[in-house]
Chains A and B, each alone.
Chain A
């Protein structure tokens, strides 16, 4: 009986400590020190409208935009209510067909070089905001043509948007697709 009482009391105390006080304290400190990050790194357009988050990818198919990675989220690509990957195994014919169809599509859009793997293989989250630098480079001619811009001008934008390995050695070099496309839209 005494043990049951102690169990109840200690559980309630610890539940309030780690389940109420802890998350609220962290929220207060987070909002104080890192309000933008804590709020989702939101990006606002020129008119003040919300155009997404710097961390969450968006789908693109228009030739004038750089295209993101394939997304396997259910319903439609980059569905934020159903994050996740395809979960297709490496020998599954469905996967191999998907990859070769995407490769064909990219080739028909004018990419001559071998297609970078991240452009034809779906991400883990289905919301990957990045593509590899090579994946951006191979898309430059298409984007330049669609926007009537010189290849050089687009190339400069791409190179300006390369995010380096963190501290020079962690993770991979990458390009945030949404940020790059917003910058292109902002060009005169």
Chain B
């Protein structure tokens, strides 16, 4: 009954997108109130805690920062986060809550993993269930799940203030924005989400791994008999919630959100995808509220959503069509690397959501997707993670694209470009170009290096054009702080641990500082009322123009590489090899 299948899949996706869209305004409004210091319904409980934190940490409530202080505080805070996590990983063997007795991480892997979680990437060259203790997971990795997400939100809010303040030297207070992000937004929703996940079967305990007997003992290929199954345990739900909500994506287990203990039912799947997309989409509304014109926010939302739906459609079509090479004697959807409970619909929606944001959690193995399906995930990452992008980082990236779009349009009609009443000048253009192109340049350089070194190509699992795709995907993923992988690539080597770590650091902090510098420059400018020559940025013309600019930049940068990887593979697959 393929018609019914398609009906349920597409119906389910539409239902999902409607639920998501309905939540954008309430969450966007709530976040606006939080960052503007207004009272919210949680203030009676959280305000005393917030004040306590400020007093304990010596943070003055009425103090604001210029962009340089803000950036310094952000970098300091993240450096400390890196150092602490790096030490936890190295010293894991001596730390508590380690019932399986896992030793410390090797130096290069610890460095890679610490960078990965601090940069909101969550690229994982280790396998959670056989390498990370409960302490490492909850007090090391999950802490950065919160703090790296909050860092992204701080930067986005600072940039929004840059656009919406006039002749102001300051762009907010990093310490306060950090505290508010964690306390009012990330923490409450994570608690609720974690409990919902547990109710469906996601585990949450501190038990040691539990040995159970297999119903039918099996023989391994080398003649051993396996009669038992060791069930991994741990505080998974609390980590799963923030892993999705902060678009982090680092799985408690190696199989990530495909693992039944992380994502046991269709409902948890729905919830996890919703968590991934909620903040990135809702921040567009927050932007509109700050700007005093919510249509400015909806314009960005529409751009993101249109592209999101187009890519969702292409990928669904490709996965639904399956793999013609396996046809004879086999019937049904292409299920290699997918889970039965999610089917094609739940797998495709997750894959598009995780790569359209900077999440990188997976419920299906991207390496085994059809060539075009795999290309969609790669392209979504390569487009710069802005439809809707990571928590915070998505918003500042699409704002950089908006500035570039306004600038190009301004050149065409011969007027000074403006956005939200701010004149766009050379400095803003430089910063926008840095935000937009840094990751792309990193991808192209590192892929080239990997392809001409033995250390680079010896990690490849799949032969032919798919091998190129594995390397391209890896550097696209780290440079854009996504973290998912074509996981056949053996990433736990000195070469990949170091190169991906460097790409993650540059790909995260160069755009982040550029966004803050731009915020500083914009906030100092006067407000220029719109004139007859101003391009309105809240109308459909602008939405289409912005979409076009995003696609052109992405396509021109990566078309050659994509042609040699997934596109060639697609043709090979349909030619029957």
Contacts and interface: CB of A to CB of B under 8 A. Distances in A.
A147 interface: no
Contacts of B445: none
A90 B364 contact: no
A126 B255 contact: yes
Interface in B225-239: 226, 229-233, 235, 237-239
A78 B231 CA distance: 11
A171 B199 contact: no
Nearest to A20: B139
Contacts of B194: 26, 30
B353 to A, nearest CB: 15
A125 B338 CA distance: 8
Contacts of A157: none
A3 B379 CA distance: 40
Interface in A23-37: 23, 25-27, 29-31, 33-34, 37
A17 B239 CA distance: 14
B130 interface: yes
A6 B210 contact: no
A30 B199 CA distance: 8
Given A81-B129, A90-B323, A181-B215, A128 B254 contact: no
B60 to A, nearest CB: 10
Please classify how large the interface on chain A is, using the bins under 10, 10 to 19, 20 to 34, 35 or more: 35 or more
Interface in B521-577: 569, 572-573, 577
A89 B107 CA distance: 31
A55 B201 contact: yes
Interface stretch (B31-39, B325-333, B412-420, B431-439): B325-333
B216 A65 contact: yes
Contact of A90 (B147, B325, B333): B325
B76 interface: yes
Contacts of A114: 329-331
Interface in B204-245: 204-207, 210-216, 218, 220-221, 224, 226, 229-233, 235, 237-239, 242
A118 B337 CA distance: 10
Output the residue of B336, B365, B464 with the most chain A CB within 10 A.
B336
A109 interface: no
A31 B469 CA distance: 44
Nearest to B333: A117
Interface in B325-367: 325-326, 328-343, 346-347, 362-365, 367
B152 interface: no
A87 B220 contact: no
A10 interface: yes
Please classify how large the interface on chain B is, using the bins under 10, 10 to 19, 20 to 34, 35 or more: 35 or more
Given A11-B84, A92-B462, A80 B129 contact: yes
A99 B143 contact: no
Nearest to B182: A14
B369 interface: yes
Contact of B129 (A27, A83, A130, A178): A83
Interface in A45-104: 49-62, 65, 69, 75-78, 80-93, 95-96, 99-100, 103
Nearest to B9: A172
A18 interface: yes
Contacts of A42: 210, 212, 231
Given A6-B59, A18-B182, A76-B220, A84 B487 contact: yes
Nearest to B573: A91
B260 A37 contact: no
B139 A89 contact: no
B265 A86 contact: no
B368 interface: yes
B474 interface: no
Given A80-B229, A171-B342, A15 B139 contact: yes
Contacts of B56: 9, 13
A91 B569 contact: yes
Contacts of A99: 326, 330, 336
Nearest to A104: B329
A130 B72 CA distance: 51
B42 interface: no
Contacts of B199: 33-34, 37
Contacts of A161: none
A76 B322 CA distance: 27
A19 B212 contact: no
B332 A134 contact: yes
B124 to A, nearest CB: 11
Output the residue of A23, A69, A92 with the most chain B CB within 10 A.
A23
Interface string B173-191: 0010011001100110011
A87 B143 contact: no
Contact of A128 (B80, B235, B339, B469): B339
B340 A128 contact: yes
A164 to B, nearest CB: 10
B266 A92 contact: no
A89 B466 contact: yes
Given A50-B210, A84-B487, A90-B336, 13 more contacts: A7-B76, A13-B56, A40-B233, A52-B231, A53-B261, A80-B229, A85-B255, A89-B569, A90-B334, A95-B336, A120-B330, A124-B362, A128-B341
8 contacts: A18-B242, A23-B138, A54-B201, A84-B255, A85-B336, A90-B369, A95-B336, A117-B330
The 4 closest A-B pairs by CB, nearest first: A171-B266, A87-B488, A124-B258, A85-B365
